[in-house]
Amino acid sequence: MAESRVAVLLALLILAAPSVGAQNNGDWTENEIDPATWEDGPELEGSPMDIPQPGDPVLAINVSYTPGHFSSMVEGEIIIELFPTWAPKTTANMIMHVESGIYDGIFFHRVIDDFVIQGGDPTCTTIGIYPATSLTCGSGGDGHTLEMEHNENLSHVDGAIGMARSQDPDSADTQWYIAETEAHNLDPENRDDEGYATFGVVRQGMSHVRAIALVPTTDDPSGLEPITNPASSAGRPIPYEVHISKIEMIGVVASPPGEGDDESGGLGTIVMSIGGGLFTIALWLWSFALIGGIVWAIREDGPPFLSDKEIEEAVDALLELDT
């Protein structure tokens, strides 16, 4: 019985010790993205949305599309900052859907030049060969509607992302759109139906948004703005799919250089890092010493040098450190 307890403790030590001080590699909230790397954004117009907010969540839309009839396929990434401070419910709704994978593999089902490109319908996937798709494409969702959310800092600036809805202001579901130009006619103050809710803005990849807005559609099958199809108003890209391979949360907006540093110019951070490293080394040494003692006790064929209570306390301490 004593040897079995010793074996359990030994296993816990081996598993727990390497994890102390380990980095969290799977949490996107720990990945800071420097706004200085964003060079392909929308036109600015003096809006509060122009300025990246430290800590705001950032997502990436991976797209592939054919810009025109005589063009090759293009692949790219559209990076969007969300605004949880100004639109907490709408932002949380978007993050939830992104992390569920509901948008992976769908296509932009509505594209209107000089207005918006719209996606987010989980039923808009190609069946066999595009444009074959579900009959509900364009009107689908997950059935959970969202209450309309407005903030004075948010508007339909160039590159804004907003929630699509039906006539009911509180009917937004999974579908969203990106404004290919400023679309302030959708703002609540310019409408009598409460308008539409924006909750983020493109920070990188606006050239892809503009190129997608020009692809041939059922409204404009030629891909040339002067020629339109009077029999259609759906704006469905045709004959080429504007594919969304994946949407994922990739990080948060980084703080400006120097923000949050102490008066020692970062010395406090360095000291804390060194201290944490020394603690980890000490814990490793303690673990190996304890393991050595256990091995000695087993070889001596005597009782373990720790009592039952001490073993339980050690195990509890290791489990707390591991969490």
Q: Domain end: 253, 273, 293, which one? A: 253
200, part of any domain = yes
Instruction: Provide the pLDDT for residue 268.
Output: 34
30, part of any domain = no
Angle of helix 2-16 relative to helix 267-299, nearest 10 degrees, comes to 160
Nearest to 64, CA basis, from 322, 194, 242, 204: 242
185, part of any domain = yes
Report how far residue 160's alpha carbon sits from residue 183's, in angstroms, rounded to the nearest whole number: 9
DSSP string, 188-241: GGG-SS----EEEEEEE-HHHHHHHTTS-BSS-TTS-TT---TT--S--B-SS-
Q: Are 282 and 184 in a shared domain?
A: no
80, part of any domain = yes
Q: Are 244 and 289 in a shared domain?
A: no
* Residues paired with 65 in a beta bridge: 74
Instruction: Provide the pLDDT for residue 72.
Output: 96
User: What pTM, to 2 d.p., does this model score?
Assistant: 0.73
Q: Are 268 and 309 in a shared domain?
A: yes
Contact present, 63 and 211 (Cβ < 8 Å): no
Pairing verdict, β 176-179 and 116-119: antiparallel
Nearest to 79, CA basis, from 271, 252, 267, 261: 252
Q: Are 238 and 119 in a shared domain?
A: yes
Q: Domain end: 253, 274, 304, which one? A: 253
CA distances from 89 to 85, 123, 243 (A): 10, 23, 27
211, part of any domain = yes
Instruction: Provide the pLDDT for residue 221.
Output: 75
120, part of any domain = yes
Per-residue pLDDT of the chain (323 residues; tens, 9 = 90+): 555 454 444 444 444 444 433 344 469 999 999 999 999 999 999 999 999 999 999 999 999 999 999 999 999 999 999 999 999 999 999 999 999 999 999 999 999 999 999 999 999 999 999 999 999 999 999 999 999 999 999 999 999 999 999 999 999 999 999 999 999 999 999 999 999 999 999 999 999 999 999 999 998 776 665 555 555 458 999 999 999 999 999 999 999 887 655 443 333 333 334 444 555 555 556 556 655 555 455 555 544 455 666 556 655 655 555 55
Instruction: Provide the pLDDT for residue 220.
Output: 75
Q: Are 142 and 230 in a shared domain?
A: yes
Q: Are 163 and 129 in a shared domain?
A: yes
Which residue type sits at 218?
A: T
Instruction: Provide the pLDDT for residue 312.
Output: 64
* pLDDT tens-digit series, residues 131-143: 999 999 999 999 9
Q: Which CATH number covers residue 245?
A: 2.40.100.10
Q: Domain end: 197, 227, 253, which one? A: 253
Place of tokens 């994946």: 246
29, part of any domain = no
Domain count, the chain: 2
265, part of any domain = yes
Q: Are 140 and 62 in a shared domain?
A: yes
Q: What range defines the domain where residue 16 resides?
A: 2-24+261-322
Q: Are 215 and 95 in a shared domain?
A: yes
Q: Are 305 and 234 in a shared domain?
A: no
Report how far residue 261's alpha carbon sits from residue 21's, in angstroms, rounded to the nearest whole number: 22
Instruction: Provide the pLDDT for residue 258.
Output: 72
Q: Are 200 and 309 in a shared domain?
A: no
Q: Are 307 and 237 in a shared domain?
A: no
Q: Are 124 and 189 in a shared domain?
A: yes
CA distances from 138 to 118, 122, 165, 174, 293 (A): 9, 9, 11, 11, 68
